Amino acid sequence: LEHRVLTRNVEFVDPLLVENGAFSALPQDVKTVVDDYRLCCNFLGDIPGYKIANCETTQSQPPLNLCGSLMQNYGLRICMWVLGMSALLGNFGIIVWRFWHAEGSDVMRVHSFMVHNLAVSDFLMGVYMLIIAAADIHYGDRYSYKSREWRSSAPCKAAGILSVLSSEASVFFVTLISIECFLNLVFPFSRFKLRPSSARIVVLAAWVVAVCLGVVPTLVVDLDSDVYGLSDVCIGLPLTTKAYGVQLQPSDIDNPFGGADTLQIVSSTSQKPAWILSIVLFLGVNSGCFLVVLACYISIFVKVKLSARRVGTAAHRERDVILAVKMALIVGTDFACWMPVIILGILSQTGAVQVGVEVYSWIVVLVLPINSSLNPYLYTIYSAITERRQNTKQSSQKPLTNSKAKSKSIETVNSFLSDKNSN
């Protein structure tokens, strides 16, 4: 037996019901041809040592097919829950703290307002991750048989909206924060600065654009589109391609009862981007925003170095420098988060590399949301360090002030005694 063929009269019948152990008696090294990739998942479970590469389909299939659970291993599952809860609780704390602690000056009020909105966008990423984590628990090991049901469900569409909304809003706010720091440090006396009123308008515009980017594609597509058909985690990253030109290749299979049967196997002749909008957003818009961020912080670094060489630098400039360093930590995590996506996206779309299911899952679970989980803690830790440093500096200045007061008091007493003795 060199080949086995399993096809049905009605393709993609849902639910696909196969009894446990139905294929356990079949050998592991036999080439298998099926009309539904989910049958290949049955071979993995029933036949010890079976390799998924031995299973071919007569229909064109998405490149990211999962067998078993949505999260392929416990490491992914644990990271999804930990980072999701971290992003949810950490950013919620920042939102509450920023709401009750408004800064005084216009510069600090604008800065606080920007960070507040960044925390809101990162909070939404935490919600997205928990939705995917909950779906993984709900479907369990039978997810491969429920994948089409999941991708067409309302929770998956909501998760898709939140993922794009959160990621793009975060990119927009990081860019705005960088531009705001650039204007305050490089051009401190310029009239072109964000005031509280203008900051609200800019932030509102950023939210409107992010909402449109998240909602509109989800509302105008169906299950057979390229948005969710290629992604079980409900976000269409530009890391996959789909078959553009397909052809039927005849494959002769020996019939054990005599003669040969010919099957038409689908094979692709060319590839094209899975979702054009994901290319525009994640490779075009995000790359452009991070080039702006990079240019802003290079300019800030050069300006700070030049200012440090001058004698008599104004004291309030130290506060601006501390603010810039603080935001550089946050921007750095965003940069480290999106650069792998941008680089892998370019390589995959040009055909240089092929991103598999496991790599795609780790990018979605670990790389994509890491900044949303770390931003509130990095900002809080740096704020605590800065506040402690300032308190230490103030406490070290108090003894000097007291000693001066004591010296003045002694001089006054001595003067009083001298006057009394002379009289």
Both tokens assigned to 224 = 């057979």
If asked whether residues 205 and 140 sit together in one domain, one would say yes
- Domain presence at residue 404: no
If asked whether residues 21 and 114 sit together in one domain, one would say no
* For range 344-356, the mean pLDDT: 76
If asked whether residues 356 and 215 sit together in one domain, one would say yes
If asked whether residues 11 and 133 sit together in one domain, one would say no
If asked whether residues 178 and 259 sit together in one domain, one would say no
- Domain presence at residue 406: no
Q: What angle do CA 60, 62, 66 make, to 5 degrees?
A: 125
Judged against a pLDDT cut of 50, whether residue 419 lies above it is answered with: no
If asked whether residues 150 and 179 sit together in one domain, one would say yes
Judged against a pLDDT cut of 50, whether residue 284 lies above it is answered with: yes
- Domain presence at residue 398: no
If asked whether residues 114 and 203 sit together in one domain, one would say yes
Q: How confident is the model at residue 212 (pLDDT cuts 50, 70, 90)?
A: very high
Could you report the per-residue pLDDT of 136-151, keeping only the tens digit for each? 999 887 787 787 788 8
Residue 413 confidence (pLDDT): 32
- Domain presence at residue 412: no
Judged against a pLDDT cut of 90, whether residue 134 lies above it is answered with: yes
Percent of the chain residues past pLDDT 70, beyond the cut: 58
Judged against a pLDDT cut of 90, whether residue 54 lies above it is answered with: no
If asked whether residues 213 and 256 sit together in one domain, one would say no
Judged against a pLDDT cut of 70, whether residue 261 lies above it is answered with: no
Q: How confident is the model at residue 317 (pLDDT cuts 50, 70, 90)?
A: low
Residue 422 confidence (pLDDT): 40
Residue 92 confidence (pLDDT): 92
If asked whether residues 166 and 222 sit together in one domain, one would say yes
If asked whether residues 252 and 363 sit together in one domain, one would say no
If asked whether residues 47 and 120 sit together in one domain, one would say no
- Domain presence at residue 136: yes
Q: Which residue has the higher pLDDT, 86 or 237?
A: 86
Judged against a pLDDT cut of 50, whether residue 402 lies above it is answered with: no
* For range 164-174, the mean pLDDT: 91
Judged against a pLDDT cut of 70, whether residue 121 lies above it is answered with: yes
Domain count, the chain: 2
What CATH number has the domain bearing residue 208? 1.20.1070.10
Model-level pTM?
0.75
- Domain presence at residue 415: no
Least confident of 30-34, 46-50, 317-321, 358-362: 317-321
Domain that holds residue 23: 3-66+246-266
Q: Which residue has the higher pLDDT, 219 or 125?
A: 125
If asked whether residues 278 and 261 sit together in one domain, one would say no
* For range 274-288, the mean pLDDT: 78
Judged against a pLDDT cut of 90, whether residue 64 lies above it is answered with: no
- Domain presence at residue 399: no
- Domain presence at residue 410: no
